[in-house]
């Protein structure tokens, strides 16, 4: 096997002596041959199994020319949007077009269309007719059923219907893609490849189905009835398990979307094999003249140690993509990658992260989860840690100890997020102490998201008391070892269930801990999440009860402003919110007040002084941390690794 980039043009094919490819993978991201990028993993897995694969990255979708440059593949086209849902990549929560794209050359925007999975598939059909098309990746995975689309504010059909593709791969697709490739290679017609877990297909009639299945409410029904949309989502949510999940069927205008049960996750040996494939660990050289691909900076010196998350936050896409069962790479695999990283010319001695969707999850939540699946109608950590939860940080700690003692490594950081309620459930303090002493880069990212129990219950996050206990312990440990380090709490405004009173409660908490977030993330309704279903329907699918939804631009702006109540530009919004909520006690000169009375600023000089005071305080706060860390502290988890980049790639929390 050659250790170089996969073909991107005819010349590359000729150098390998290939006249024809088995598969052509078309992706909305630039070509980065690193295992944090789904296109790289899928193409390398196919290569390992003996298939010839070429890459068409970010083709010009206005003609068919780019789709033809590698010729017609022998077995089929593979299509994905990239590491993020394209609409999240393109638009902010306020639906404004983003000016940059970390997955494109030089960080430029507009190198892919909206919904590239659909656009690319239709262009391939235009170019080659009935050639097999298999779609996958985060965009396909989360849009596989009829789903609410925030950007068009309507329910869309399954992306498999709109794309005209033959097979949809959902979840982490290594097993599925090899089974599909082998079936095509053995002469099976694509319409008969219907037996593979972790895939969806279209049937013309229910008579074509064998075995047990659950018939969901149709596309038409969920479009017209929000109660049916919510109850249908609940079934999808319940059956999203590789061990006990059922086949699900949903009618779309006379045709039937069929989802097979999810694929079982890779075992440790299989994971190790995937991460040991001959990735080039960087972007293709063709992007050098454009300034490279910015997204590689976030992952080049980081190590993915696990997949899956049993945290099950309502707003997170992990449940519907990687699943709730946690699987981890072996210590040997992780150490070998760290040694390889130290050989990079630009390595400065710092491993930026060792983690995954949740850094300190290393095993399935309990013994039975690995074989019987996650509990139906019950969470592992919410509302409190399950009595059967396996809480053990020692293996992860052993890996971190080994990494930090390797030659040429100065520091090993943990930046992908710690689940603090799981950490606090550990009876031993060994991991917490060493985390604080050796693996925090001045700031530790954690995600309380909110402090109001009313909001947290809809997020399926631990009660605010849990975060306070964790925070107190963190600072006590820092004091004990003589360090001055900070917590960076990710906070979210306007999540379903959040009222003005809840936003004010969070503002008061920030006042009491003397913390001013530089940036707050508004709730972003992304496809396939429990929170998005609440946002669209006004119903919590888990209880089928109504949920308050802050939807108006004014209220969302007020909730966001309350979390940055010290910022002068937010004064009027904060004042209006406090008056509307009847919280005049928070307007005044007392130490518990959030803002001063309007009369205080009638004098222009006094208002200018207020602004200067804010700027001065901000500079003093900034001096406590490096500019790079400051940028990090101002960022929030977006639905991606990711998330993100890490988020969606591995971190879309």
pLDDT at 275 over 60: yes
> Which among 369, 159, 379, 366 has a CA at the least distance from the CA of 264?
369
Residue 534's domain comprises 301-649
Burial of 187 by CB count in 10 Å (0-12 exposed, 13-18 middle, 19+ buried)? exposed
- Do 164 and 313 share a domain, yes or no? no
Q: How far apart are CA 561 and CA 229, in angstroms?
A: 32
pLDDT at 649 over 70: no
- Do 185 and 316 share a domain, yes or no? no
- Do 401 and 531 share a domain, yes or no? yes
- Do 168 and 47 share a domain, yes or no? yes
Domain presence at residue 29: yes
Got the DSSP string for 344-378?
STT--SEE-EEESSSTT--S-SSTTHHHH-SPTT-
Q: How far apart are CA 204 and CA 511, in angstroms?
A: 59
pLDDT of residue 370: 80
What is the rounded average pLDDT of the residues 231-242? 96
- Do 324 and 175 share a domain, yes or no? no
Domain boundary among 150, 181, 199: 199
pLDDT digits (tens, 9 = 90+) for 178-209: 999 999 999 999 999 999 999 999 999 999 99
Q: How far apart are CA 403 and CA 411, in angstroms?
A: 9
Count of CB atoms within 10 A of residue 201's CB? 22
pLDDT digits (tens, 9 = 90+) for 354-384: 999 999 999 999 998 888 899 998 999 999 9
- Do 376 and 517 share a domain, yes or no? yes
Domain boundary among 199, 220, 240: 199
Q: How far apart are CA 17 and CA 88, in angstroms?
A: 40
Domain presence at residue 33: yes
Tokens 């308050």, residue? Answer: 548
- For 170, the 3-state DSSP assignment is coil
pLDDT of residue 629: 34
Is-contact 196 258, C-beta < 8 A? no
What is the rounded average pLDDT of the residues 59-79? 98
pLDDT of residue 605: 64
pTM for the full predicted model: 0.91
Domain presence at residue 435: yes
The CATH number of residue 353's host domain is: 3.80.30.20
Token pair for residue 506? 């969070």
- Do 187 and 317 share a domain, yes or no? no
The CATH number of residue 38's host domain is: 3.40.50.280
Domain boundary among 163, 178, 199: 199
- Do 33 and 154 share a domain, yes or no? yes
Counting the structural domains of the chain, the total is: 2
Half-sphere CA count of 524, side-chain side, radius 13 A? 23
Give the mean pLDDT of the chain.
91
What is the rounded average pLDDT of the residues 94-120? 97
Is-contact 643 637, C-beta < 8 A? yes
- Do 166 and 34 share a domain, yes or no? yes
Is-contact 115 86, C-beta < 8 A? yes
Q: Residues of the chain with pLDDT > 90: what percent? A: 85
- For 142, the 3-state DSSP assignment is helix
Domain presence at residue 276: no
- Do 195 and 305 share a domain, yes or no? no
Q: How far apart are CA 71 and CA 168, in angstroms?
A: 23
Domain presence at residue 311: yes
């Amino acid at each position: 096997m050659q250790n170089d980039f996969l073909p991107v043009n005819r010349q590359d094919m000729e150098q390998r002596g290939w006249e024809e490819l088995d598969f052509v993978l078309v992706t909305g991201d630039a070509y980065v041959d690193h295992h944090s990028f789904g296109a790289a993993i899928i193409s390398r897995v196919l290569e390992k199994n003996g298939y010839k694969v070429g890459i068409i990255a970010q083709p010009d979708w206005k003609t068919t020319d780019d789709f033809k440059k590698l010729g017609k593949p022998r077995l089929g086209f593979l299509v994905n949007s990239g590491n993020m849902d394209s609409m999240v990549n393109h638009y902010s929560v306020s639906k404004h077009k983003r000016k940059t794209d970390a997955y494109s050359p030089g960080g430029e925007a507009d190198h892919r269309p909206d919904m590239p999975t659909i656009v690319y598939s239709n262009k391939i059909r235009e170019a080659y007719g009935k050639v097999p098309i298999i779609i996958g990746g985060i965009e396909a995975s989360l849009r596989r059923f009829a789903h609410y689309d925030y950007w068009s504010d309507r329910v869309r059909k399954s992306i498999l219907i709109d794309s005209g593709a033959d097979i949809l791969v959902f979840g982490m697709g290594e097993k599925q893609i090899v089974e599909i490739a082998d079936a095509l290679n053995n002469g099976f017609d694509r319409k008969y490849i219907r037996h593979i877990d972790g895939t969806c297909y279209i049937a013309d009639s229910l008579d074509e189905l064998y075995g047990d299945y659950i018939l969901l409410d149709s596309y038409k029904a969920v479009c017209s009835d929000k109660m049916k949309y919510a109850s249908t989502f609940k079934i999808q949510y319940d059956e999203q398990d590789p061990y006990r999940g059922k086949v699900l069927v949903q009618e779309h205008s006379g045709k039937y979307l069929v989802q097979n049960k999810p694929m079982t996750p890779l075992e440790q040996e299989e994971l190790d094999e995937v991460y040991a494939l001959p990735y080039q660990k960087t972007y293709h050289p063709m992007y050098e003249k454009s300034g490279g691909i910015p997204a590689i900076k976030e992952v080049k010196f980081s190590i993915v140690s696990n997949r899956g998350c049993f945290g099950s936050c309502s707003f997170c896409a992990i449940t519907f993509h990687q699943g709730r069962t946690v699987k981890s790479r072996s210590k040997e695999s992780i150490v070998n990658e760290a040694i390889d990283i130290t050989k990079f010319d630009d390595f400065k001695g710092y491993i930026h992260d060792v983690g995954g969707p949740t850094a300190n999850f290393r095993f399935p939540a309990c013994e039975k989860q690995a074989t019987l699946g996650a509990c139906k109608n019950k969470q592992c950590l919410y509302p409190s840690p399950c009595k059967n939860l396996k809480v053990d940080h020692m293996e992860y700690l052993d890996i971190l100890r080994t990494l930090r003692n390797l030659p040429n490594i100065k520091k090993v950081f943990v930046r992908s997020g710690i689940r603090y309620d799981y950490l606090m459930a550990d009876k031993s303090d060994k991991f917490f102490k060493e985390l604080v002493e050796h693996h925090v880069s001045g700031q530790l990212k954690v995600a309380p998201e909110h402090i109001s129990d009313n909001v947290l219950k809809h997020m399926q996050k631990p009660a605010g008391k849990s975060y306070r206990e964790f925070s107190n312990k963190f600072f006590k440990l820092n004091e004990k070892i003589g360090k001055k380090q900070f917590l960076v709490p990710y906070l979210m405004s306007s999540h379903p269930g959040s009222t003005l009173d809840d936003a004010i409660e969070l503002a008061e908490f920030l006042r009491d801990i003397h913390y001013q977030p530089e940036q707050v993330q508004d709730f972003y309704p992304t496809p396939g999440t429990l929170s998005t279903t609440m946002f669209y329907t006004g119903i919590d699918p888990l209880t089928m009860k109504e949920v308050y939804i802050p939807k108006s631009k004014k209220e969302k702006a007020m909730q966001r402003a309350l979390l940055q109540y010290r910022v002068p530009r937010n004064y009027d919004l904060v004042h209006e919110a406090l008056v509307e909520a009847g919280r005049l006690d928070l307007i005044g000169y007392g130490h518990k007040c959030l803002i001063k009375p309007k009369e205080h600023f009638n004098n222009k000089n006094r208002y200018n002084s207020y602004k200067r005071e804010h700027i001065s305080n901000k500079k003093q706060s900034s001096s406590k941390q490096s500019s790079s860390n400051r940028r990090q502290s101002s960022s929030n988890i977006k639905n991606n690794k990711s998330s993100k980049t890490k988020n969606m790639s591995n971190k879309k929390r």
